[in-house]
Amino acid sequence: MKQRRVALVPTMGYLHEGHLSLARLAAASSDVVIVSIFVNPTQFNNPADLATYPRDLKRDLDLLEKEDFKIVFAPHEDELYAEGFQSWVNVARLTETLEGAHRPGHFQGVATVVSMLFNAVAPDAAVFGEKDFQQLRVIEQLVKDLKFPVEIIRAPIVREDDGLALSSRNVRLSPEERSSALLISKGLFEARALFQKGERNGSKLTAVVHSQLSQSPLIAPEYVELVREDDLTPIAQAAPGARILLAATVGKVRLIDNLSL
């Protein structure tokens, strides 16, 4: 009897087209798709962000039902973090910069919960989107180092027609903030166009992004970095395999985005 291939799509719920695209990608190469829905408290370093993170399990289940994804793993917090919980998973160098520097403890929470999901579901593959590119690299390193028998499938960023990267947090943007948020992807696309014209100076490429972000008083950039994709090391000169990663607060909503050059 042929063993069925199982793919896991980890999410924190409030699903959108980006999440559904991950599930479709999983279905294309697997017999069974399991979508997990769990707002992981240990990856939030800001209690207010955790408290306002959008949640609507019924809505999520309805969306998955329409897409014909029938298996959902939605554990309660106590099922994963029982009383007395004290074990953590850390990935070192990849978590020391970018999101890791601005959100202490974030990747410890991510690596720990993903490890628990892998143990609970025992998938053959798991799909992670490139929008959270540092998280993707951390999970790839985690799987490699701890010998999880899980294939990590990368999924491309899904954007609105106007360029805004899909995010569950977008629902919290006011109309004015959403308009300002478009400057994020506009800056990234301008940097890539400049790279394609032959510019390799990292400072000039990131300056283009900063120039766009500065056009709105609603945007407060946290970082705009040109890095090597493999180890996320900042680089001064762009080359194939370079990517710009950024984080910015628009109003009170923190957004991340990135673009490969």
Q: Count the neighbouring beta carbons within 10 Å of the beta carbon of residue 193.
A: 11
CA 74 – CA 79 distance, rounded (Å) = 10
Instruction: Please say if 106 is a catalytic residue.
Output: no
Annotated active-site residue in 16, 19, 106, 210: 19
232-245 burial, b if ≥16 CB within 10 A, otherwise e? beeeeebeeebbbb
| Neighbouring residues of 191: CB distance < 8 A, sequence distance ≥ 6 | 205, 206, 208, 209, 244, 259, 261
Q: In sequence order, what DSSP letters do the residues of 174-242 get, joined into one string?
A: -HHHHHHHHHHHHHHHHHHHHHHTT--BHHHHHHHHHHHHTT-TTEEEEEEEEEETTT--B-SB--TTE
Q: Backbone phi, then psi, for 69, in 5-degree steps?
A: -100, 110
Task: Select from 36, 134, 122 the least CA-distant residue to 91.
Answer: 134
CA 241 – CA 236 distance, rounded (Å) = 13
Q: In sequence order, what DSSP letters do the residues of 21-58 get, joined into one string?
A: HHHHHHHHH-SEEEEEE---GGG-S-HHHHHHS---HH
Tell me which residues are annotated as active site: 19
